[in-house]
Structure 1
Amino acid sequence: MTTTTAPNRAPSLAASLADLRRLVTRTLRHEARTLDALMVNIALPVLIMIIFVYVFGGAITTGSSGLAYIDFVVPTVLLMAGGYGAALSAVNIAEEMTGGMIDRFRTLPISAWTLPAGHVIASLVRNVAATACALTAAVLLGFRPNASATDWALVLALITGYILAVSAIAMLWGLLVTSPQAAGAFSFVVIFFPYLSDGVVPAETMPPLLRGFAEHQPTTPMVETLRALLLDLPLGDAGWLSAAWLTAGVVLSMPIAAFLFRRRTTT
């Protein structure tokens, strides 16, 4: 008498989407229990904004833009709020890769892509909420946006795209390094990168070499786009440049991260 074993089949799309929903819920619940991390995610950009406005604001001019400093800097702080939390996704995936959780997931009939995708989606939900908190604080400090309903929709799309791109790059970084400590370094890069843009001080006031970098790095067109949408200013080329940078970040990072994840979980 012989027996046959049914071949292993990949989960269906419906089953994978159900697994993805569970993994997103799991990640959000896990992060909700780490109140210290949530507080830092929300409080750090707000504290930075308060320092900029009340400590440095009186000494910093906004150059040819003629904006009040709070109007000048708030778009940058919104990117910091979303980007800092999204960058912490690198720590989350690194902890699971090195802490034994991946070995448990290997025993379950789930698609490999759902785990990193779950982290990215959870990051998106969490950090859009954190950015909304930062915007609320900005309004309480005196920021007065002049945006239409369409402008607000585009603001949400840009911030969502930024968080998605940073989360994707964070996944890639978290899979490249070998420890959560090394993964955590990415968050410092993300939160300080806007300082070298047109977001905190006008690029026109910087030395020539630094000015050239500030004018052509990814954060500058995103900040300029947010300023234009929130304050009803001319948009120029900033909109399509932002879309190009964000698309490139997602399109280049996601396939490489997926490849690294498969490689590290099948060896």
Structure 2
Amino acid sequence: MSTLTLAARDSSTMVRRQLKRMIRYPSMTVMLVAMPVVFLLLFVYVFGGTLGAGIGGGPYVNYVTPGILLMAVLSAATGTAVSVAMDMTEGIVARFRTMRIARGSILAGHVVGSVIQQFLCMGVVLAVALAIGFRPNATPVEWVAVAGLMGVFSLAMTWLSVALGVKAPNVESASNAPMPLILLPFLGSGFVPTDSMPTVLRWFAEYQPFTPIMETLRGLLMGQPIGNSAIIAVAWCAGIGVLSYIWAKRLFNRS
């Protein structure tokens, strides 16, 4: 077999390992799925009457769902950081390094397994959103674009979480490291338009990476103009993903 074929085989083995871990420890998956669903219900039914009053264009659930989808990805990415830290601190990685397997397959298994978990989380969030009144009018092409954007975003956040997991000295630190990312949808256009914010906060909200991603998702799902937000969103995802990949690989090789 060629080196590339062996690496692909080892990576698929590591992906199966991650998927089996999800099945054997369903409480972690349930917790990661439950958090964005709880936020969705909380903002729609508790805060939606007030926050949605100044937002035109339909029910508040239509506005808030893109931000919740990002939170679903970030919630699952937190689990990835924990999973990587467990492998790094409990000795399994040292054991893998004594075996004839591709070194990159260890991280590849975490990344692919996490992306699958993230799409599962997003599927649950979309199902709940549809059940409580979310009514997108996207065309099939726009749905494909939504899936592509979320895939790129998932990869970027997963590699960042992998790097944080490798860097963390223990599992507890790994569980806390990605938490600031979950705040970014709140400090963007996830729940209210940025023009309703004070000047300094509005500047941060408009230029932070998550806002163009949410605006692109909202435009695609609701059939609204997206302007240049798609280009900015993809650029942010690509930049974060590439830098996080390089950082994760360097940390892993040095550990």
Q: What interval of TM-score do these two structures reach, taking the shorter chain for normalisation?
A: over 0.9
Deviates more, 1:187-196 or 1:12-21: 187-196
Partner residue, 2:188? 197
Following the alignment from structure 1 to structure 2, what is the Cα–Cα distance between the partners of residues 242 and 63? Answer: 26
Answer yes or no: is 1:85 the counterpart of 2:76: yes
Letter in 1 for 2:44: V
Task: Tell me if structure 2 keeps the 8 A contact 1:11–1:111.
Answer: no
Letter in 1 for 2:151: T
Task: Tell me if structure 2 keeps the 8 A contact 1:91–1:180.
Answer: yes
| Deviation of the 1:16 alpha carbon | 1.1
Runs of 4+ that moved beyond 3 A: 61-67
| Deviation of the 1:89 alpha carbon | 1.1
Partner residue, 1:104? 95
Out of 236, 240, 243, the position equivalent to 1:245 is 236
Answer yes or no: is 1:27 the counterpart of 2:18: yes
Following the alignment from structure 1 to structure 2, what is the Cα–Cα distance between the partners of residues 181 and 142? Answer: 38
Letter in 2 for 1:261: F
| Deviation of the 1:65 alpha carbon | 5.0
Task: Tell me if structure 2 keeps the 8 A contact 1:81–1:127.
Answer: yes
Change (3 A) 1:60 1:206: same
Partner residue, 1:117? 108
TM-score, scaled relative to structure 1: 0.92
Task: Tell me if structure 1 keeps the 8 A contact 2:160–2:245.
Answer: yes
Out of 193, 207, 216, the position equivalent to 1:225 is 216
Letter in 1 for 2:36: P
Task: Tell me if structure 2 keeps the 8 A contact 1:71–1:143.
Answer: yes
Q: Over residues 40-61 of structure 1, what are the superposed CA-to-partner deviations in whole Å (9 max), with x where a residue is unaligned?
A: 1111111110010000000113
Following the alignment from structure 2 to structure 1, what is the Cα–Cα distance between the partners of residues 243 and 53? Answer: 35
Partner residue, 1:56? 47
Q: Over residues 156-194 of structure 1, what are the superposed CA-to-partner deviations in whole Å (9 max), with x where a residue is unaligned?
A: 011111111100001111122211111111342222221
Partner residue, 1:214? 205
- In the alignment, structure 1 segments of 5+ residues that lack a partner are 1-9
Answer yes or no: is 1:142 the counterpart of 2:142: no
| Deviation of the 1:63 alpha carbon | 4.5
Out of 10, 22, 33, the position equivalent to 1:42 is 33
- In the alignment, structure 2 segments of 5+ residues that lack a partner are none
Which structure has the larger Rg over C-alpha atoms? 1
Task: Tell me if structure 2 keeps the 8 A contact 1:62–1:202.
Answer: no
Paired residue secondary structure (1:61): helix
Letter in 2 for 1:237: N
Following the alignment from structure 1 to structure 2, what is the Cα–Cα distance between the partners of residues 167 and 209? Answer: 30
Partner residue, 2:66? 75
Partner residue, 1:188? 179
Partner residue, 1:263? 254
How many percent of aligned residue pairs carry the same amino acid?
36
| Deviation of the 1:11 alpha carbon | 7.4
How many residues get paired? Answer: 255
Following the alignment from structure 2 to structure 1, what is the Cα–Cα distance between the partners of residues 122 and 31? Answer: 13
Change (3 A) 1:63 1:186: farther
Following the alignment from structure 1 to structure 2, what is the Cα–Cα distance between the partners of residues 140 and 23? Answer: 36
Paired residue secondary structure (1:88): helix
How do 1:151-190 residues align onto structure 2 when only pairs under 5 Å count?
151-190=142-181
Letter in 2 for 1:133: V
Provide the aligned C-alpha RMSD in A. 1.5
